[in-house]
Amino acid sequence: MVSDSITNVSIPSAPINNNNARDLGKKKRARSAKLKQCKLDVRREQWLSQGAVKNKDCKEEQHAGLQGRRERNNHRSLVMGPRDGENVGSIHHQHQHQHHHDSDLDSNSPSSFTSSVLGSHDSETIFTGSSSSSSSSGGCCSGNITEDDDDGCLDDWEAVADALAADEKPKNQSSEPPREHEPITQLVPPRQIENSKPQCARAMAKAWRPDDAFRPQSLPNLAKQLSLPNSNVKRDGGVPWACNSVVSPPSSCPICYEDLDLTDTSFLPCLCGFRLCLFCHKTILEGDGRCPGCRKPYENDPVEAETTVHGGSLTFRLPRSCSMITRS
């Protein structure tokens, strides 16, 4: 649990460290940070649900105490503005206070923050708020929280938060603007993301549309992914070659056992109805030129066979034209 949360927290800092302030980089960063944040929130909520049970007794005290702290935290978060912006999502996912989210986006004003905290009267909310702000604003309130809950976990949070704060200070300004563009590319607007974690994760995974110009090349292509298992299924389905020959037209060439394409399936070189792929037909014409099905020589000469091959778009008429040739 503890180690998990550490890795999750530390990840958002990595892309930020590696990126210079480029527009594209910023977008990427903001989004990956959001993705990570989403995972992070899941962890945090698990952790909080444990903490909530423990802390039920001292709920009231926390209410009183944290509100005071909150005032201070938010002063801090004003300074750390952009960084806090990343955490807005987390606060939002855990509680469906949409106004809360909006106001946070607009400005990290202490009043809006406090009001939202007041609006939700369970210890979880308060805890979330404080822990997320601790991860964003460094050691400011971590001391207070450490008193509340088990130490090891929070110490780690604190340490990570310190590291994050140190890393990000110079780049905070650059990560702010892309946030405004995000609703455009996001399929699910942030405010519709509910508390449920799987939904949240799925919505985040869709943050990149396949046709998005800024979509990283390294991301797997959804269309490709979809086509892969399908083609595998086709392959597997094509295993019983022996059975295929019974059905007409066959799905694979009876000579080379390769799959017949659309041109091949509409290619009927012999009146006996024996079908084969164009390539095998050509090979046979180079040899004895007899239909494998009836052993009669193919009546249309190779030149005509070639022309029928090239009439790819008129494939439907091919069999008929072939038989007409043989009849005349």
Answer yes or no: are the C-beta atoms of 16 and 206 closer than 8 Å.
no
What is the pattern of x (binds other proteins, CB under 8 A) and - over residues 183-212? ------------------------------
Cα gap 226→201, rounded to integer Å? 20
Among 14, 21, 187, 262, binds other proteins (CB under 8 A): 262
Alpha-carbon 321 to chain mean position: 50
Decide: is 30 part of the binding site for other proteins (CB under 8 A).
no
Residues in contact with other proteins, counted by CB under 8 A, come to a total of: 39
Of 205 and 262, which has the nearer Cβ to other proteins?
262
The two tokens of residue 235 are 């392959």
Q: If binding is defined by CB under 8 A, does position 266 make contact with other proteins?
A: no
**Does 233 engage in binding with other proteins (CB under 8 A)?**
yes
Q: Determine which residue in the list 74, 94, 265, 300 makes contact with other proteins, applying CB under 8 A.
A: 265
Q: Which residue has the tokens 């050691």?
A: 139
Map tokens 């790819």 to a residue. Answer: 312
Calculate the CA 5 to chain-centre distance.
Answer: 21
Whether the Cβ atoms of residue 18 and residue 111 lie closer than 8 Å to each other: no
How many of the other CB atoms lie within 10 Å of CB of 21? Answer: 12
Question: Per CB under 8 A, which of residues 276..315 are in contact with other proteins?
Answer: 277-280, 283-284, 287, 290, 292-293, 295
CB of 43 to other proteins, least distance (A): 42
Min separation Cβ 217 and other proteins, Å: 23
Annotate each residue in 236-255 with x if it binds other proteins (CB under 8 A) or - if it does not, as one string.
-xxxxxxxx--x--xxx-xx
Q: Does 111 bind other proteins (CB under 8 A)?
A: no
- Tell which one of 259, 299, 304, 321 touches other proteins (CB under 8 A): 259
Q: What is the C-alpha separation between 9 and 14, in angstroms, rounded?
A: 10
User: What length does the chain have?
Assistant: 328
259: β partners: 252
Q: Rounding to the nearest 10 degrees, give the CA dihedral for residues 162, 164, 168, 172.
A: -100
Q: CB-wise, 216 or 238, nearer to other proteins? A: 238
Among 166, 222, 256, 314, binds other proteins (CB under 8 A): 256
Which residues, in sequence order, are bridge partners of residue 252?
259
**Chain positions contacting other proteins, by CB under 8 A:** 231, 233-235, 237-244, 247, 250-252, 254-262, 264-265, 274, 277-280, 283-284, 287, 290, 292-293, 295
